[in-house]
Structure 1
């Protein structure tokens, strides 16, 4: 049965609604960034750029780097935007948009996030690279899908117990990255991490300006969490959704984090643009290798 027009919305030119993309305009290897201005910071290293479009905060460019075709797309901030971007990317490769039918043969994308993050462990310094082996989501997105089979309940239950999790907050969910991409991208220059994905930048990440927090000690509790040697390493706002949706749809995903702040020491990188640039070059070369 064809997918209804209200469920899969297409633009008049046949492109998917939010991303403004058609299937031939994306590669099977995709880099996602939060900031739309970071798209050009990635593609400036390309051999060529064949296509660029933008709708709202979603800017996309496709080109080649050392002969490999790669798409770079900005997601904006937050797991709600990840839900849009990843479902529409999947639709581009796994749904016949003219017939509105799921294809009999499915395509698996490689999706790598290049983002910034703050460490909550003293031993993970600013200007380092953290590769998220696991992510815990505090955002509830994955609970709207039939997703229990991709969640690690032992870790999430341990986290709730060790942090005395406030039951009015969303139930945390834990998901893992693509093992293949983890092996491809990691090196002696990276640290394997366990990333916490938050629903906001201020209160949800323990920042106090004028509003009091429900739990002033939550960041310390997260930093102290330990499950068979796994500790929460850094805070950001997208990775759990990236891993959750990718796992459900059969895509490979990995999140790369440039550590520009250390919340435990109060430090902030003196040159965050340089560390992001270094991570971009590192990731591009690992992809083509």
Structure 2
């Protein structure tokens, strides 16, 4: 089957539409950061820069770290941007862009998000690292796809019951990380837990400025949720989209979170840039072990 021009959009130079990339521009090991300026912070650790480009908020640099070829890409904020980035990266490795047909051999990417997040639990302090064992999708983006086989129905049902989840919102979805990649990046320095992914920064994360919330108690309900050993440890805006699309497309994904705020204690890091850079170094070194 040939994919139509309107579905797989290419630039005049043959690169994929939003990312401005060709297949040869990327590694199989890809780091996601939200902020385009953070791409250069990661790339400053590379011994050699092979390629760089930027279109809109999507900045990409490919280079080598301790001899390993790595690509770092800025995704911008939110699950909608992840939908663009992951689908286009998958197209680069699993679709022949010349013939617009699927390749016979599937290629799996290793995708590692390095991002900031706020802890929901008092015992996970600011300036710590957290690896997302699961992602809790409460934004609904993944529901555009056939997700029946990637969720964890028992945790999802327990969460909806505990929170009295509104029928007017998208049904929550819980997706596990890549066990193989998770083991590679884990150490005794790392907290783990379920990372909830909201579709916005204010109301969807329980913040009130001028607009009242649909459920003013929702954050407290999320904080207190527990299913066996699982609890929701932090809240951000990308992880569930990364985990869900990676599962659907056959890629490996892990989200590494620099905890710069603790909403349970009302605290914020004194050196947020330093903790992010420490997590970058930690992750790079784990990737080359």
TM range, smaller chain: over 0.9
How many Å apart are 1:188 and its aligned residue? 0.6
Partner residue, 2:12: 12
CA–CA distance in structure 1, aligned partners of residues 59 and 277 of structure 2? 19
Partner residue, 2:181: 181
How many Å apart are 1:42 and its aligned residue? 0.3
How many Å apart are 1:172 and its aligned residue? 0.7
CA–CA distance in structure 1, aligned partners of residues 91 and 213 of structure 2? 40
Gaps of 5+ in 1: none
Partner residue, 1:58: 58
How many Å apart are 1:34 and its aligned residue? 0.4
Partner residue, 1:135: 135
Over 6 Å off, 4+ runs: none
Partner residue, 1:28: 28
Q: Do structure 1's residue 160 and structure 2's residue 160 form an aligned pair?
A: yes
Partner residue, 2:254: 254
TM-score (norm 1): 0.99
How many Å apart are 1:228 and its aligned residue? 0.9
Structure 1 residues 1-289: aligned runs within 5 Å: 1-289=1-289
CA–CA distance in structure 2, aligned partners of residues 10 and 104 of structure 1? 21
How many Å apart are 1:127 and its aligned residue? 0.5
Between 31-40 and 148-157, the greater mean CA deviation after superposition: 148-157
How many Å apart are 1:50 and its aligned residue? 0.9
3-state SS of the aligned residue for 2:149? helix
Which digits, 9 at most, give the CA deviation of each residue in 1:17-44, with x for residues without a partner? 0000000000000000000000001000
The number of equivalent residue pairs is 289
Gaps of 5+ in 2: none
CA–CA distance in structure 2, aligned partners of residues 193 and 112 of structure 1? 16
3-state SS of the aligned residue for 1:50? strand
CA–CA distance in structure 2, aligned partners of residues 38 and 219 of structure 1? 29
Which digits, 9 at most, give the CA deviation of each residue in 1:252-282, with x for residues without a partner? 0000000000000100101100000000000
Which digits, 9 at most, give the CA deviation of each residue in 1:201-244, with x for residues without a partner? 11111111222212121111111101112100000000000000
TM-score (norm 2): 0.99
